[in-house]
């Protein structure tokens, strides 16, 4: 595996594109050959059946050739579709490396939650979100696992296990490619909730004592049929057996229909999932986490994909009775009830394992997504997890959603005696971006991913933010009310474990300066007293005086701007102390306002 992801993706994209071109040429050649074979068949048929110039035996060769070409053409088309998906996979990878990925992937909108303490504030979901950048999963289970990891920080031991798994998977580009191209649309075709519900549903065929009776009646019907047709026993014995079959099978009719309807959709879901399971089962893993997940895919000495294949065979045989030519014999031997019982038996033996299989697939896919991100960002390190209480120490910290070449990095230290950074500066100077930078990297770190930093050392933290609280016309709530509701939520989080990292942007901006000062100081003191650490941004310099009230627990830092040619310029560098100048009035004059 090469160290340069761009070169690796480029080479593989070129190879897959060349294969698509070759398969397209093969497609054209086989299409032409099929047309030729069909035309030759028509010509031979005319000559053989019209003027009788040829024997009908001459038709065998062109007909056989036509059907062989149909099979070969179908296989070539299937292969081309698979390789085309590989082309798209590497194109998407290069788009991520070129920072041209926003709006082209899975935005995870269904996971958005306005009441989550930081999801909207840190752009976890939606166009251009952290989820869209990370998500290369193919199943709903993989999406849900990845989203859950972003929405809730993991404990230190859990993070370390995920890191070890991601390190192992980082070089498995072939595995990630194969998972990306398996099946036409695994995500659309596998519904984990429906599968889990089917696996847990109570048994419908409870009268199991009828199964051997129906088997005996089916045997009797077969024997009496043979006796009637071959030995002239008459049709009366067969009719008698059929009447008994009707009476015996009637109580099961509704239950058999329920089994058939349930397994119809579930069988399709499982058949698609089995393709992913089979690939994951044969991958050699070394890390403890990956081996444990792989072990979840086996049970009773059989891998999950094989057990699903057994169900698939039962479903295929069950639905054979839908064939109009086979249906009379199927009724004769009670084919439907027998295979319905067999399917219920499979569900009784293996159904409980289905949620476990789905969970394992989801986690393996989420780990593969993080490993893909790690491969594409080889210079981003994994954070160091410490057992210290409420600690965050970063060198060269940058925002993971910004283009790496344009990302301005800062050092941030919180923990120990120092619990609070008061960040002053003008609008657009970088205050809010700093909060998002810290929050996003904490989310990545505690999900098990690398971080955009030269070095990051942190303890397990919960996260809470007020960067994007909004009013609600539907609920009749102002922005100020929405903000204080969120602050109440953060105070509650700070009372629990792990310690809270709070990111408060322009705190209490919706009220007057007097109430703002008193309220902000009270809230921040309360959070710090509960063991939380965090940052508060403001362009109201009066709030920077909170640092004096908190003493050694707080420190002022700021961002500066300069007015150059009537335009504000920013360097986005965090500096110690309170901002000393403001260019707001000069900028207002520059745009023609009389101030």
Say which residues have a Cβ less than 8 Å from residue 34's Cβ, sequence separation at least 6.
66, 69, 70, 73
Task: Kindly tell me if the per-residue pLDDT of 555 is higher than 70.
Answer: yes
Q: Of 199-203, 430-434, 457-461, 492-496, which gets the smallest average pLDDT?
A: 199-203
Give the confidence band of 590 by pLDDT, cuts at 50, 70, 90: low
pLDDT for res 585: 67
Query: Which tokens go with 548?
Result: 């004096």
Q: Would strands 533-538 and 420-424 be described as parallel, antiparallel, or unpaired?
A: parallel
Pick from 197-211, 221-235, 516-530 the range whose average pLDDT is largest: 516-530
pLDDT for res 286: 92
Contact 362, 192 (CB under 8 A): yes
Identify the three-state secondary structure at position 402. Answer: coil
- CA angle at 184 for the pair 183 and 189, rounded to the nearest 5°: 85
- Look-up of token digits 């429906």: 194
Domains in the chain, CATH or no CATH each: 1-98 (1.20.58), 186-374 (no CATH), 384-590 (3.40.50.300)
Contact 436, 119 (CB under 8 A): no
pLDDT tens figures, 276-321? 888 888 889 999 999 998 888 876 678 888 888 888 888 878 778 7
pTM: 0.85
Say which residues have a Cβ less than 8 Å from residue 295's Cβ, sequence separation at least 6.
none
Q: In terms of Cα–Cα distance, which of 308, 67, 290, 289 is closest to 199? A: 308
Instruction: Tell the burial category of 300 from Cβ atoms under 10 Å away from its Cβ (0-12, 13-18, 19+).
Output: exposed
SS (H, E, C) 455-518: EEEECCCEEEECCCCCCECCCCECHHHHHHHHHHHHHHHHCCCCCEEEEECCCCCCCCHHHHHH
Task: Kindly tell me if the per-residue pLDDT of 541 is higher than 90.
Answer: no
Instruction: Tell the burial category of 89 from Cβ atoms under 10 Å away from its Cβ (0-12, 13-18, 19+).
Output: buried
Alpha-carbon distance 431 to 409, whole Å?
Answer: 13
pLDDT for res 474: 44
Task: Kindly tell me if the per-residue pLDDT of 1 is higher than 50.
Answer: no
pLDDT tens figures, 438-454? 999 999 999 999 999 99
The Cα-based distances of 403 to 128, 135, 461, 482, 519 in angstroms read 12, 18, 26, 32, 37
Kindly report the average pLDDT of the chain as a whole number: 85
Alpha-carbon distance 360 to 396, whole Å?
Answer: 36
Task: Kindly tell me if the per-residue pLDDT of 158 is higher than 90.
Answer: yes
């Amino acid at each position: 595996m090469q160290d340069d992801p761009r070169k690796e993706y480029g080479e593989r994209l070129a190879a897959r594109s060349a294969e698509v071109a070759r398969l397209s040429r093969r497609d054209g050649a086989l299409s032409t050959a099929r047309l030729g074979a069909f035309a030759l068949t028509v010509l031979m048929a005319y000559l053989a059946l019209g003027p009788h110039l040829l024997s009908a035996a001459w038709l065998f060769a062109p007909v056989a050739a036509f059907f062989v070409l149909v099979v070969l053409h179908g296989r070539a088309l299937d292969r081309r579709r698979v390789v085309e998906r590989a082309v798209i996979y590497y194109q998407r990878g290069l788009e991520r490396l070129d920072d041209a990925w926003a709006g082209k992937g899975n935005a995870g909108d269904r996971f958005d939650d306005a009441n989550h303490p930081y999801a909207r504030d840190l752009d976890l979901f939606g166009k251009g979100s952290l989820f869209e950048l990370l998500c290369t999963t193919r199943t709903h289970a993989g999406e849900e696992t990845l989203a859950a990891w972003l929405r809730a920080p993991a404990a230190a031991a859990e993070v370390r296990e995920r890191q070890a798994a991601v390190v192992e998977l980082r070089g498995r580009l072939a595995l990630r490619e194969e998972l990306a191209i398996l099946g036409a649309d695994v995500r659309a075709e596998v519904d984990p909730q429906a599968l889990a519900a089917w696996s847990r549903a109570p048994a419908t065929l409870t009268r199991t004592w009828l199964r051997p009776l129906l088997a005996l009646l089916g045997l009797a019907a077969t024997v009496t049929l043979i006796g009637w047709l071959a030995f002239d026993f008459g049709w009366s014995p067969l009719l008698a057996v059929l009447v008994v079959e009707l009476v015996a099978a009637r109580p099961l009719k509704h239950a058999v229909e329920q089994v058939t309807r349930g397994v119809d959709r579930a069988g399709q879901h499982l058949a698609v999932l089995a393709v992913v399971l089979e690939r994951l089962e044969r991958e050699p893993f070394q890390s403890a986490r990956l081996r444990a997940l792989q072990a979840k895919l086996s049970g009773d000495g059989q891998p999950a994909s094989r057990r699903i294949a057994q169900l698939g065979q039962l479903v295929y045989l069950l639905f054979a009775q839908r064939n109009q030519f086979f249906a009379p014999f199927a009724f004769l031997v009670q084919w439907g009830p027998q295979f319905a019982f067999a399917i219920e038996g499979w569900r009784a033996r293996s159904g409980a394992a289905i949620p476990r299989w789905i969970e394992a697939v989801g986690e393996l896919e989420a780990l593969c997504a993080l490993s893909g991100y790690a491969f594409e960002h080889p210079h981003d390190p994994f954070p160091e997890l410490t057992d210290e209480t409420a600690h965050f120490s970063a060198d060269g910290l940058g925002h993971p959603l910004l283009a790496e070449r344009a990302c301005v990095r800062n050092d941030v230290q919180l923990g120990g005696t120092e619990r609070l950074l008061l960040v002053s500066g003008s609008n657009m100077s970088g205050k809010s971006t700093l909060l998002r930078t810290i929050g996003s990297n904490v989310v990545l770190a505690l999900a098990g991913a690398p971080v955009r930093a030269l070095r990051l050392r942190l303890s397990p933290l919960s996260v809470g933010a007020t960067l994007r609280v909004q009013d609600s016309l539907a609920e009749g709530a102002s922005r100020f009310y929405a903000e204080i509701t969120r602050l109440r939520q953060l105070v509650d989080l700070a009372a629990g474990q792990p310690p809270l990292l709070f990111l408060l942007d322009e705190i209490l901006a919706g009220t007057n300066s007097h109430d703002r000062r008193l309220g902000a100081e009270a809230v921040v003191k309360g959070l710090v007293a509960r063991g939380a650490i965090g940052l508060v941004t403001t362009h109201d310099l009066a709030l920077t005086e909170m640092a004096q009230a908190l003493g050694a627990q707080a420190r002022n830092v700021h961002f500066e701007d300069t007015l150059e040619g009537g335009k504000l310029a920013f360097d986005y560098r965090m500096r110690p102390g309170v901002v000393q100048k403001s260019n707001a009035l000069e900028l207002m004059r520059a745009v023609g306002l009389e101030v």
